[in-house]
Structure 1
Amino acid sequence: MSADNAAVNFSELVNKNKQTLARLKESPRLLLHRRDGEDLVLTTAAKAEQDQTVVSAASRMLSAMARREPGSMELLLDILPEAFPWVRFLPEPDVHAFAVELVDTMRAADSIGNNASVAQMLTAWQHTAEVHSDPVLLAALTQDHGTDYGPVRHP
Structure 2
Amino acid sequence: MSTDDAAAVNFSELVNKNKQTLDRLRDSPHLLLHRRDGEDLVLTTAARAEQDRTVVSAATRMLAAIARHEPGRTGLLLDILPDAFPWVRFLPDPDAHAFAVNLVDTMRAADSVGNTASVAQALTAWRHTAEAHSDPHLLAASSRNHEADYGAAPDPEHVA
TM > 0.5 fold call: yes
Deviation at 1:6, TM superposition (A): 0.5
Q: 1:57-136 residue pairs with structure 2 within 5 A?
A: 57-70=58-71, 73-136=74-137
2:33 is matched with 32
Q: Which residue of 2 aligns with 1:18?
A: 19
Aligned counterparts of 1:150 and 1:35: Cα–Cα separation in 2: 45
CA shift digits 1:126-152 (9 cap, x unpaired): 011111111111111111256224799
1:7 match: secondary structure: strand
Q: Counterparts of 1:41 and 1:8 in 2: how far apart (Å)?
A: 10
1:70 alignment partner, SS class: coil
Residues in 2 aligned to 1:115 and 1:53: alpha-carbon distance in whole angstroms? 13
Look up the equivalent residue of 2:64 and give its one-letter code: S
What amino acid maps onto 1:87 in structure 2?
Answer: V
With normalisation by structure 2, the TM-score equals 0.89
Structure 1 residue 64: Cα displacement: 1.5
In the aligned structure 2, how far is the partner of 1:70 from the partner of 1:101? 18
SS in 2 for 1:27: coil
TM-score (normalised: structure 1): 0.92
Corresponding residue for 1:141? 142
What is the total number of aligned residue pairs between the two structures?
A: 152
Counterpart of 1:25, as a letter, is R
1:50–1:145: structure 2 CA closer, same or farther, 3 Å change rule? closer
Counterpart code for 1:12? E
| % same residue | 77
Distance in 2 separating the partners of 1:45 and 1:8: 20
| Off by >2 Å, runs of 4+ in structure 1 | 1-4, 148-152
When residues 16 and 99 of structure 1 are mapped into structure 2, their CA distance, relative to the original with a 3 A threshold, is: same
Gaps of 5+ in 2: 154-160
1:42 aligned residue: 43
Aligned residue for 2:33, secondary structure, equals: strand
| Cα deviation 1:55-87 (Å, max 9, x = unaligned) | 001101111221123166211101100000011
Structure number with bigger Rg: 2
Point out where structure 1 has 5 or more consecutive residues left out of the alignment: none
Of the structure 1 ranges 45-54 and 131-140, higher mean CA displacement relative to structure 2 is found in 131-140
The range that moved more, 141-150 or 84-93, is 141-150
Cα distance in structure 2, aligned partners of 1:62 and 1:151: 47
Taking the aligned partners of 2:97 and 2:147, their CA distance within structure 1 comes to 31
